[in-house]
Structure 1
Amino acid sequence: MAFSPYEILLAPFVEFEFMRRALVGAAALALGAGPIGVFLMLRRMSLTGDAMAHAILPGAAIGFLVAGFSLPAMTFGGFVAGVAVALASGLVARATLLKEDASLAAFYLLSLALGVTIVSMRGSNVDLMHVLFGTVLALDDAALFLIGGIATVTLVALALLFRPLVLECVDPVYLASVSRAGPVVHLVFLVLVVSNLVGGFQALGTLLAVGLMMLPAATARFWTSDVTGMIAVATGTGMVSGAAGLLLSYHLELPAGPAIILVAGGAYLGSLLLGPQGGLLRLAFPGRHLEA
């Protein structure tokens, strides 16, 4: 039985409100998380995003323990926990011989174990799965406003801090020599990372929230070397991955969150092979000398 393009691409969003909500939520996540992922990649902090995604779990779990699936409680708890872990790992790195990546890994493992334990104390296995993998098909108005608000604040903050952020990626020593804004910019950036992970937690859970942040950013790097271009490609890839993942989950009856990340992963693998900026085929068959 043949299906028309309308039935495949548009009908699920036209006929079902929960699909439209999921699409809006995924698009808003991509709008805020895409640029953050690009700067994490350029600052060689890609794994930091993954660690911070798990760091929010105990705070969100405490919010769940106190108020059940309460959006304000879990959001506030996750944000506080994420910022606390970021600050604690930084302090440990500066006060001891331990490097920041090692201290962050230690806090991340502790946070993950503590969060799972807290959720298990009160909730069921279904509750734990919702916390870990999200409920993108069950986003309500409050969750959409939260995700949209975080995306808006992120874009405004990045517009204001764009130049020092880029300069810190390229030459942090020079930035430190001409301005004292470096530590403040770094702290604000970490807050933005945590905020977007908290927003992503509402839809994709703690285990997958970082996927829509880092996979589109890694994809963009194979298509352009310009920072603005990478942000545009990463944001577009995230939005397309959200829509395609939702359609895939609808037609094949797959979990929506993992389907979105699988599509983003497919875009990354395709770019790894075909991308003009360091893709495998480009490296294997380079053009003639001085050829564009």
Structure 2
Amino acid sequence: MTPLIEPFAQFAFMQRALLGCLAISLSATPVGVFLLLRRMSLTGDAMAHAILPGAAVGYLVAGLNLGAMTIGGVVAGLIVALLTGAVARFTALREDAALAAFYLISLALGVLLVSLKGSNVDLMHVLFGTVLALDNAALTLLCAITTVTLVTLALVFRPLVLECADPRFLASVSRWSGPVHFIFLGLVVLNLVAGFQALGTLMSVGIMILPAAAARFWATSIGGMLVVAALVAVLSSVAGLLASYHAGLPSGPAIILAAGSLYLLSLVFGPAGGLATRFWPRAHLDA
């Protein structure tokens, strides 16, 4: 049996880790593509930090309980999203600055809350996740979030694409502009919470943004980017889990570093605007 198949064939914890990563790959990468198209990539990073205090409150109440930490993370993320929108709308502060302020406050508050009750091991679990320790309840949650995300994206796909291209036009011809924006932010929070279960709050945004950024160098259509981003995320998950098994590396960082490596390769060799095509363009025949 080859080293590529052996870990997943012999060990149940590796099978659960792979299934969880596949669910996250199919769910988070479409959200990441739309974040990239809407020029909101850093928003995902900020929201990943914003869910930490809610997860910490759930941890203080119930310990390392999946349900409590998930509900806390979702509530905290939505509160930060709503507060950011309110500050941007009713004050002179821009949305990016308001989000940066709230996510810094959230990150510090979350770390403080976890530190009050837990140990350094618990803090590392919350920040960086334990994908190799996923149980059946966590897998059920991840698959449920994947289903909700894909169904919701299918329902709002057209207005979401139009908002990426021309949000003012969508606002002028349809009432979907506002609802679509908040539905999308809800999906961002939901998928960050899903990623948090496996990769932790500091790593979950990586599986969302890096595959989407890599896909930009291989496809020019939205459909193509969605497919390539999912493939990159799946390959990164498999490579990271294998590196974790064979080399004893931390699984979450290994997965994100694999995604980062594929992004760097795409940056150099990608046919849709990569460095190679820019500095060594293909020869073409003159008409």
TM-score by length of 1: 0.97
After TM superposition, give the deviation of residue 290 of structure 1 in Å.
7.6
Is the alpha carbon distance of 1:100 and 1:18 closer, same or farther for their aligned partners in structure 2, counting shifts above 3 Å?
Answer: same
| Corresponding residue to 1:156 among 148, 151, 168 | 151
Which of 146, 159, 171 is the aligned partner of 1:176? Answer: 171
Q: Distance in 1 between matches of 2:121 and 2:233?
A: 27
2:67 aligned to 53, 69, 72, which one?
Answer: 72
Match of 1:269 in 2: 264
Q: Are residues 1:231 and 2:226 paired?
A: yes
Give the aligned partner of residue 247 of structure 2. 252
**Alignment pair present for 1:214 and 2:209:** yes
Q: d(CA) in 2 for partners of 1:275 and 1:58?
A: 39
In 2, Cα distance between equivalents of 1:8 and 1:287: 38
**Aligned AA for 1:166?**
V
State how far apart, in whole Å, the 2-side matches of 1:290 and 1:191 are.
Answer: 50
> Separation in 2 of the partners of 1:175 and 1:201?
33
- How far apart are the structure 2 equivalents of 1:125 and 1:140? 22
Query: Which residue in 2 is equivalent to 1:21?
Result: 16
Q: Name 1:32's counterpart in structure 2.
A: 27
1:199 matches 2:194: yes
Q: Deviations over 1:98-117 (max 9, x none)?
A: 11000000000000000000
Alignment-mate amino acid for residue 117 of structure 2: R
The aligned residue for residue 3 of structure 1 is none
CA distance, structure 1, for counterparts of residue 207 and residue 147 of structure 2: 17
Q: 1:58 aligns with which of 53, 56, 80?
A: 53
The equivalent residue for 2:78 is 83
Inter-CA distance 114–287: structure 2 relative to 1 (3 Å threshold): same
* 1:11 counterpart = 2:6: yes
For structure 2, the 5+ residue unaligned runs are none
**In the alignment, does 2:123 pair up with 1:128?**
yes
Q: Does 1:240 align with 2:235?
A: yes
Partners of 1:193 and 1:59 in 2: how far apart?
15
Code of the residue aligned with 2:86 in structure 1: it is: L
Please tell me the root mean square deviation across aligned C-alpha atoms, in Å: 1.0
Q: Equivalents in 2 of 1:137, 1:161: separation in Å?
A: 34
Query: Which residue of the partner structure matches residue 103 of structure 2?
Result: 108
**What are the ranges of 5 or more consecutive residues in structure 1 without an aligned counterpart?**
1-5
- What is the identity, as a one-letter code, of the residue corresponding to 2:47? M
Identity of aligned residues (%): 66
Q: Distance in 2 between matches of 1:113 and 1:290?
A: 59
3-state SS of paired residue (1:207): coil
Tell me, in whole angstroms, the C-alpha distance in 2 between the residues paired with 1:236 and 1:153.
20
1:188 counterpart (167, 176, 183): 183
Residue 287 of structure 1 deviates from its aligned partner by 2.5
C-alpha distance in 2, partners of 1:129/1:141?
Answer: 22
State how far apart, in whole Å, the 2-side matches of 1:207 and 1:7 are.
33
Q: Distance in 1 between matches of 2:198 and 2:40?
A: 23
Moved over 3 A (4+): 288-291
Distance 1:289 1:43 in 2: 34
What is the aligned counterpart of 2:161 among 166, 169, 178?
A: 166
- Give the drift of 1:176: 0.9
CA–CA distance in 2 between the matches of 1:169 and 1:285? 31
1:8, distance to aligned residue in structure 2 (A): 1.2
State the shift of 1:285 in Å: 1.2
How far did 1:289 drift? 5.5
